Chain A
């Protein structure tokens, strides 16, 4: 396989964006930032791929106008997934692996606040017997959290510890929407919201865009002294049915992690929109206490739909670029209760690649 690295990352996040759901206006400055980071122009980008959802925007073909932000004369080699940025990155990584292109810029956008997000996401469910009940995202996560609490797989304190650490770390993240930790006891003293979840157990509704730049071999080395090499990338999906899954587990996350060499990971950015989901992921990925989890604050601090997974990759890459870490992990999720998961490892060196 070719050596491919993440060499650029930019984002915008906000509680409520007042512009068009196509988010073109936010993508323009993000692309500009990436051209500055890489020293490229748009013509140096071999492949473009975006991630977004029509239902988030409330209209068909919401991604179509987003290509304007690229500037598409001459036309571009471009694709779109109705998935998170992390999977757009996967498609681009594949494209580079075929040898067809050496570079890619992937982006994603979503204006969650345009509708009632937790209700909109009920449209993701099985349409005959689930969606008509409109089970909202928070409720589905609550069922999962309760399953783990009842089974003794985790407890409220562990959930509060996740929230407290995330909100404390988020103070250092200029893009975080919710920030400010206090103490585990104080968080536990707060009232239940959707029993067994308190508000801080649930990610905030966030609007935003994010983008990543990938480059192969010497192209990557030209951009950065220390490119964040994608030494492994893997993704799987589980059945959706809430009844047929063990909700305390995420087999697809386990499988994605098991396909990679996770030894020596120093930092892991996990896309866990609910506090207990981080606990599941840590177990499934076998991450020990020596691994720093979500120093960015993670999804509990900010969870822009369709880019939050890819943002984990960007945050994990930054730790490599800066030399703060030699090996990091990024994870993205999609679907109800951790149904679909992608895991990748990033490294300061190209040795020890999994694929």
Chain B
């Protein structure tokens, strides 16, 4: 058995970026099949245009169309492309100074091997089949043989200025629980709620902690907790939201399990939402065993035991 529980997780979102006028001008150009630079106060043509001038700090307002042909000023080989790079086969990243520009810009260069690239080589933009106002409207650069010219881009589908761009960010991680959390989740997979006692302050933590937040000591002595506890406080969820699994209204409550010194947040079902009370005694209701995993979700919800409510004084220090 590995020391900790681990599982993959993907953190993904399609970001909706507003570009502002300068980046928007550049992306509008790409959509239209032209590369647009911005002129700085020092007279340099920079691609993509700088949003603000490095000297005057004013917004860039002078735009210049540059060639889609240029010269490689530096390059590097990408032997093992990572997800979402312009090519999924080995390629080069290159800094290319386009004719008419004074500084290079970064994009991919589609060549078969590092032997096919040299600093100083001439390259041209290969336009993507479909252009939407995105840096990927340039599929990449490709070598330009002597005598070859730039490739004109087919007409654009729209002439509205680009003001926004969607950036897909999707990152894959291997998530690991701490050893103490792993103990907790493994317990849940066996139908048990495991806590640990802090050797310094003697408080019982559930889930147990790599460091007791009060004194910085790792919790140690294992304590199996009761499946019965007291609602300390709660809210009634009336609002629908993204990813919600239960139809509102329902109750989200802090449940202080008997024997624990800290409450866990869980659902209260089996009672109308407006009848839930602070101090109500509740017990864990587990999902069918064949649905269990390493998760607090194995407990489907907590439901009233029917016992008399706990006195406020018995749990008020947990609010």
Contacts and interface: CB of A to CB of B under 8 A. Distances in A.
Interface of A: 17-22, 24-25, 27-28, 31, 42, 55, 58-59, 67-73, 113-116, 118-120, 122-123, 127-136, 138-147, 150, 192-197, 239, 241-244, 247
9 pairs of A and B residues whose beta carbons are closest in the complex: A142-B76, A71-B216, A195-B77, A58-B173, A20-B178, A71-B215, A24-B210, A119-B82, A243-B103
Contact of A120 (B23, B134, B171, B214): B171
Given A58-B9, A73-B214, A132-B136, A195 B4 contact: no
A116 B82 contact: yes
5 contacts: A72-B214, A133-B135, A142-B76, A146-B76, A147-B74
A299 to B, nearest CB: 19
B229 interface: no
Nearest to B120: A150
Interface string B12-26: 000101010001001
B106 A133 contact: yes
A128 B23 contact: yes
A243 B95 contact: yes
A130 B106 contact: yes
Given A19-B176, A20-B210, A244-B46, A133 B17 contact: no
B199 interface: no
Given A136-B82, A143-B75, A123 B169 contact: yes
B135 A25 contact: no
A155 to B, nearest CB: 15
Contacts of A197: 76
B167 interface: yes
Contact of A22 (B75, B165, B178): B178
B266 to A, nearest CB: 20
Contact of B173 (A72, A115, A242): A115
B249 interface: no
A166 to B, nearest CB: 21
Interface string B261-293: 000000000000000000000000000000000
Given A20-B181, A31-B216, A71-B212, A133 B82 contact: no
B79 A134 contact: no
Interface in B104-141: 104-108, 114, 119, 134-136
Contact of A119 (B19, B47, B83, B177): B83
Contacts of B310: none
Nearest to B114: A195
Given A28-B211, A143-B75, A68 B216 contact: yes
Contacts of B82: 116, 118-119, 122, 134, 136
Interface residues of B, number: 67
B75 A129 contact: no
A69 B211 contact: yes
A69 B216 contact: yes
Contacts, number: 195
B303 interface: no
B2, B74, B77, B167: which has the most chain A beta carbons within 10 Å?
B74
Nearest to A72: B213
B11 A143 contact: no
B77 A192 contact: yes
Interface of B: 2-4, 6, 9, 11, 15, 17, 19, 23, 26-27, 46-48, 50, 54, 73-79, 82-86, 93-95, 103-108, 114, 119, 134-136, 165, 167-169, 171-179, 181, 209-218
A20 B176 contact: yes
A67 B216 CA distance: 9
Contacts of A67: 213
A18 B176 contact: yes
Given A28-B217, A114-B173, A147-B74, 18 more contacts: A24-B209, A58-B175, A68-B210, A71-B216, A127-B167, A128-B19, A128-B48, A129-B27, A132-B84, A134-B83, A135-B93, A139-B93, A142-B77, A143-B76, A146-B75, A192-B77, A194-B76, A242-B104
Contacts of A69: 210-211, 216
A139 to B, nearest CB: 5
A28 B180 CA distance: 14
B62 to A, nearest CB: 16
Contacts of B217: 28, 71
Contacts of B15: 127
Contacts of B76: 138-143, 145-146, 194-197
B119 A18 contact: no
Contact of A68 (B46, B104, B213): B213
B37 to A, nearest CB: 10
Contacts of A19: 3-4, 176, 178-179, 210
Nearest to A55: B171
B216 A28 contact: yes
A71 to B, nearest CB: 3
A145 B177 CA distance: 39
B216 A42 contact: yes
Contacts of B94: 143
